[in-house]
Amino acid sequence: MTQHSDLFDRACKVIPGGVNSPVRAFRSVGGTPPFIERALGPRLWDTEGHCYIDYVGSWGPAILGHADPDVVAAVQAAAARGLSFGAPTVAEIEMAEALVERFPSMDQVRLVSSGTEATMSAIRLARGYTGRDRIIKFDGCYHGHSDSLLVKSGSGMLTFGNPSSAGVPPEFVQHTLVLGYNDLAAVEAAFAHHPEDIACIIVEPLAGNMNFVRPVPGFLEGLRSLCSSHGTVLIFDEVMTGLRVGPQGMQGLSGVRPDLTTLAKIIGGGMPVGAFGGHAAIMASIAPLGPVYQAGTLSGNPVAMAAGLATLRKLQQPGFYEALQGQTQKLVQGLEAAARRHGVPFCADSEGGMFGLFFQAERPRNLAEVSAGDAEAFKRFFHGMLGHGIYLAPSAFEASFVSACHDDEVLDTTISAAEQVFATL
């Protein structure tokens, strides 16, 4: 048994901030993060011997719960055949076929090793294909940490953005226009200003990186028709929502077909995988067929393919998503009812196996509204729940996830913990 504080001190000496991805450091909620030793099904165990019910699910991939026996067996078998070849394999064809079959908007797909790589490459492809430089993204949507996407809105609505990270030269983001999520009028105005210059719009079709924000009716449809009439590539970043909100992601639920889609998280089953794909005509611009360069030493890695394929297979079980959605709704409704009993201003929302919790009376529609939530109440709730063995995302700006292993007993334990914590807020 090793104390988290000792481990965190040790980590901080050799890893900046002690973590390899910033949100893990618990900066927005305070305190020392637990160090995780193992996980099984819906639960995590830390190095101090505490057990938690997990609603982070490795930030999305763990839709089957942790250490699913079929996924682990597939990984073990693939590893025994060799870890990486840097040459074509059958598993890559099977993965590409599985994705193309599930997402009707994709004729072809290129496999990479992370969501960041997928979105960065999709944007380069959209620019190369259209011969245009400008792109539109929305405030509060996260598309990985590549330079041209680390940008916040400029001073005016139609001015191009400013870097949101040090180390990104302003020139690198001068082509990125940042607009408000769900603000179709702003997108129309941008096209009126730059009718033939916009290479692509990239959007989370249901935003999960500013907590949980749905597209308002007409928003995705409006983006689709503006992109079609201006020769602009519409990119749905479904790294989080693809296979999480339903078998065909948000494009399946909304009926809106993007030109390109980015995927990651669930399709790797817990191993590092990303993908981007779309119309064959656009995909033909990628090297070695076309002039847009993109590559990766470990792309299509055989062990990662095995984990992803085993995961995708299990998602096809009849009724899988109905059951997942039902459990998630039950959780969210239970939490809302518990908050109501204690007079805490709170609401929640979910789709498929993804949900958001808000310490405010109304569900937010954009980043400004999410930011108006009671951050202090969230912090107290987060730590209260952690103390009761419930591990939620350590930030009020992240969605949380339910897996196929979150059974009624797990949900009831969570809701009664919340009941006690709401009573103290």
Ligand X SMILES: *Cc1c(COP(=O)(O)O)cnc(C)c1O
Q: Which residue ranges make up the site for ligand X (CB under 6 A)?
A: 114-116, 119, 142-144, 204, 208-209, 237, 239-240, 264, 274
Q: Tokens in use for 72? A: 């682990």
CB of 308 to ligand X, least distance (A): 13
Q: Which is nearer to ligand X, 150 or 339 (CB)?
A: 150
Q: Which is nearer to ligand X, 18 or 274 (CB)?
A: 274
Cβ within 8 Å of residue 184, ≥6 positions away: 218, 219, 222, 223
Q: Which is nearer to ligand X, 143 or 214 (CB)?
A: 143
CB of 345 to ligand X, least distance (A): 27
Q: Which is nearer to ligand X, 182 or 209 (CB)?
A: 209
CB of 313 to ligand X, least distance (A): 22
Q: Which is nearer to ligand X, 119 or 285 (CB)?
A: 119
Beta strands in 229-289 (DSSP E): 233-237, 260-264, 274-278
CB of 237 to ligand X, least distance (A): 4
- Dihedral in degrees, nearest 10, Cα atoms 241, 242, 248, 252: 40
Q: Which residue from 364, 366, 128 is spatially nearest to 260, judged by alpha carbons? A: 128
CB of 115 to ligand X, least distance (A): 2
Q: Which is nearer to ligand X, 142 or 359 (CB)?
A: 142
Instruction: Read off φ and ψ for residue 333, nearest 5 degrees.
Output: -70, -35
Catalytic annotation, residues = 142, 237, 265
Strands across the sheet containing 36-40: 36-40, 43-46, 51-54, 390-391
The answer to whether residues 419 and 341 touch, using CB atoms and an 8 Å cutoff, is: yes
> Which residues are paired to 357 by β-bridges?
348
- Residue 227, H or E segment: helix 219-230
The answer to whether residues 266 and 273 touch, using CB atoms and an 8 Å cutoff, is: no
Q: What is the chain's Cα-based Rg?
A: 21
- Number of CB atoms found within 10 A of residue 389's CB: 15
Residues in the chain: 425
Q: Residue 252 in 3-state DSSP? A: helix
